[in-house]
Amino acid sequence: MYDKHILTDEGCRSIWERGKKVGYCVNIKINYYRGLPLSCIEEIALKVDGEEVNPETMLVQHNGREYRYMDLLTDDFPTDVYWIFGEKLRVVVQKEGGIEQGRHKVELTLKTRRTYTPTMVSTCEKILTFA
């Protein structure tokens, strides 16, 4: 659901810390008609310019909080923290040097676990402009 629109073209940029680029981010939306607990995320996989992003370098920011992506996948992650429908979830990739300003091909695979239908696998590919 919403597959073509889950990778937004808003807020793509390098992230700076103390004068150095330490990573970059993209903003994604949920592939469903309602919000789900973050514990229902099965996978967020990114490819940038054809190269797979190491999931261990990813952070997830949503509704004022930040989590290590790998923590979302653990059994004891709380179930009452929701990915709000229609609201962006920022995926931060920690990478020295960030990303070069300009256009990059980004491929997203998003898998969310559902109640009454099988896990929804959505893919979205876009050329995004990074600041």
Task: List interacting residues with another protein (CB under 8 A).
Answer: 1-5, 29, 33-37, 39-40, 63, 73-75, 77, 79-80, 82, 84-86, 113-116
Of 12 and 15, the one with the shorter C-beta distance to another protein is 12
CB 32 → another protein: shortest distance, Å?
A: 9
CB 69 → another protein: shortest distance, Å?
A: 14
CB 101 → another protein: shortest distance, Å?
A: 26
Q: How many CB atoms lie within 10 A of CB 33?
A: 9
Give helix then strand counts, H and E, for the chain: 1, 11
CB 94 → another protein: shortest distance, Å?
A: 24
Of 20 and 114, the one with the shorter C-beta distance to another protein is 114
Q: Write out the E strands in 40-119.
A: 41-48, 51-52, 58-62, 65-68, 82-83, 89-94, 102-112
- Spatial CA neighbour of 9 closest among 28, 32, 37, 24: 28
Any idea how long the chain is?
131
Of 45 and 73, the one with the shorter C-beta distance to another protein is 73
